[in-house]
Structure 1
Amino acid sequence: MSSEAMIENPLTKSLADILREKLILGATGSLPPISQEVAIHAGKRHRIAPILYSLLKSGQIEATSASEKFLHDSYRHAGLQAAQQQRVRSRIHNILINAQLHYVELKGRGLAEQLYANPVARFSKDIDILIRKKDSTSALQALSDAGFIAKAKRSRKTNKLARYEMWAAKDTSLYDPDFDQQIELHSRLLQSEPANFSTVFMDSVLDSGTPQTTNPFYVFYLIMHGAHCHWASLKWILDLVLIARTSGVSANDMADLARTYHSLSAVSASVEFIDAVFPNSLPQDWITLARQIETSKSQELLAAFSEMLSGSPREVKQAGYPFADWYMYDGGINYWQAGPRRLIKPFFRFL
């Protein structure tokens, strides 16, 4: 499927072309100056305005005066956010290590540092921390003792309620009042996942902290995270392209993990989708993989990803299959466990 057919929104299509030509392929030649409309779409919808500003300052793209101001302000905010998050990351590391708790930091600043020459360019709104399910109580207690607040929309949560939210929704929000930062504490990687998925991933990351993009399981998780979210953001798609081009993780590794965790449809559709959004940007073995493991469900997922990428922010928050996280898999889901979790999860939005 062509890029034009895959991306219905012209603003998103314009952004995809800019990123492909200038950041991924490093092509020379001029592009039309970025308009204010495109700049705002980049910041509000895809959270990539700081990346565009980085390209602007390096002379790779041009922008109108109004859009340049918006991009500059976005980059400045991203820099302040990154500095505060770095302080909180150090705090979390010390707290959890002193409590003798193994943890993994997902995505965020750690991923930015591996993918971008200027890590500030990749904006992160929060810090995602994965712990083992059995350590939920100890981690919440250690963090709350250090001043982190189990935060709800209208009130504070007790640690007991936070643990229940982690069971139902996979994560719970904590807040660091000293640095005005939000932390998402996860007890598993995904809302619904095959047995032992998070456990095996934790075992693959021997040292607490940020996993490396050379870890096949981490790359596989990032693909499945994108699929669960229907690849709603260009930022996540760009991450995967950069990882595939630089990490050395092979397509065969992805295929083996996809078979083990009943995810052939989701992985095939994801790779095909990324290739359509950024044509000729993925290694050839990844493209070959997508075609080899394609299933009848892959095309359905591909259509869903396309619809989500071009949707409005409101649609992105509300759209999806009634049980989208189940549908990502070809099997391997314990529905007796996943069903109650899915039914209870919306309750926590109203706290």
Structure 2
Amino acid sequence: MNQLRDAVMSNTFYMMKLTAEMQRVARILEEHHIEVLMLKGPVLAYELYGDLAHRNSKDLDMLVDISKVEKALGILMEIGYIKKFDSPYILNSWKWKDHHIALVHPVLETQIEIHWSLNPYNNSHRLDFKTLWNRKRSMDISGCKVHYLGFEDLFMYLISHGARHGWFRLRWLLDIDKIIRFNGAIQQSHDYMEIHDCKSLVGQAYYLASQLIRTPLSKEMKELATSQRSIELASYAFNLIKKSEITDAETLKNYLKQIKSPKRRMIMLLGRLYPGPMDAELLPLPRKLHFLYIPLRPFLWMWRRIRQRMVLKGRHEYD
């Protein structure tokens, strides 16, 4: 009980610290005319559990309009944040190959992820920032007004996020359970499943929640949860959940491939034809010559593969 009490106290203090930082950063960004939507963090703790102490978060996820990402990053770096991974981006590949950039504050020991899309490889015009902003909700926390996703958008985002990470943190399923138990409106979300392109992922989440934490499902939910596709995706996730964390790169790669819809797979395949940070790291070119990465992309890809095989071969010979 003492260990449990200490853990709760430690989490409460950290969530209070995270809440204060969320208020500070949101206020600074809004002063610079950058609208912000909170995705999870303290807002979700209040929204679903009514108390900061009842949920933990390691960072702050903030969604901004893609046209204001670079401005937001500049402001955050001015107040002490640094990029967690400073990979060289070329030809604006970050705008559609990635969906967020992580920053850390070395003094405050807090982390912020600036998102411009809810999911990677998302090209849906029905999910642009303006649309999500128009459906937003607002919450007053200690006299500070913060904005977050509308109900259906939040539910679909939480499912997509949990599925993308293999549901290895069971608290993500507890969030889904909480929403299902206390909001029957979720049964009317078929249109949002199509908009977010995550119908099969919703079925996966329903099945996992019903099997692992006995979440009650309506008739419509059961039909989706027991579809062949939903059960198949749930079986992949079960293997990841048993491991507690994802450490096997090949297992994760295969899982991420399985959960993508045909449309997302096509976008991802097309994305492989476009230059990215690894190309710039392998062959640094001056900015004026970045256009050369497009015709050089196949050769650079082959070069990386050859180098990887040589490294693996060297390891096997050493062993």
TM-score, normalised via structure 2 length = 0.73
Aligned to 1:259: 194
Aligned to 2:132: 201
Question: Does residue 308 in structure 1 map to residue 243 in structure 2?
Answer: no
Contact 1:141 1:159 in 2 (8 A): no
Question: Does residue 227 in structure 1 map to residue 158 in structure 2?
Answer: no
Q: Percent identity?
A: 20
Instruction: Go from structure 1 to structure 2 and tell me whether the alpha carbon gap of 1:101 and 1:90 turns closer, same or farther (over 3 Å shift).
Output: same
Aligned to 1:125: 58
* CA deviation after TM superposition for structure 1 residue 331, in Å: 3.1
Gap runs ≥5 in structure 2: 139-144, 282-319
Structure 2 CA distance, aligned partners of 1:346 and 1:269?
Answer: 36
* CA deviation after TM superposition for structure 1 residue 176, in Å: 2.7
Contact 1:132 1:202 in 2 (8 A): no
Taking the TM superposition and a 5 Å limit, the aligned residue runs for 1:137-176 are 137-152=70-85, 157=86, 167-176=96-105
Aligned to 2:301: none
Aligned-residue Cα RMSD (Å) equals 3.3
Amino acid at match of 2:29: L
Instruction: Go from structure 1 to structure 2 and tell me whether the alpha carbon gap of 1:192 and 1:91 turns closer, same or farther (over 3 Å shift).
Output: same
Question: Does residue 109 in structure 1 map to residue 74 in structure 2?
Answer: no
1:88 to 17, 21, 41: 21
Aligned to 2:116: 187
Structure 1 CA distance, aligned partners of 2:274 and 2:180?
Answer: 33
Structure 2 CA distance, aligned partners of 1:342 and 1:321?
Answer: 20
Contact 2:61 2:114 in 1 (8 A): yes
Deviates more, 1:260-269 or 1:109-118: 260-269
Amino acid at match of 1:92: V
Higher relative contact order by CA 8 Å / sep ≥ 6: 1 or 2? Answer: 1
* CA deviation after TM superposition for structure 1 residue 345, in Å: 7.8
* CA deviation after TM superposition for structure 1 residue 261, in Å: 3.9
Amino acid at match of 2:180: A
Amino acid at match of 2:17: Q
Contact 2:162 2:172 in 1 (8 A): yes
Amino acid at match of 1:241: D
* CA deviation after TM superposition for structure 1 residue 142, in Å: 1.8
Aligned to 2:69: 136
Aligned to 1:37: none
* CA deviation after TM superposition for structure 1 residue 129, in Å: 0.9
Contact 2:36 2:64 in 1 (8 A): yes
Count of residue correspondences = 271
1:327 to 256, 259, 277: 259
* CA deviation after TM superposition for structure 1 residue 249, in Å: 2.8
Gap runs ≥5 in structure 1: 1-67
TM-score, normalised via structure 1 length = 0.67
Structure 2 CA distance, aligned partners of 1:347 and 1:308?
Answer: 33
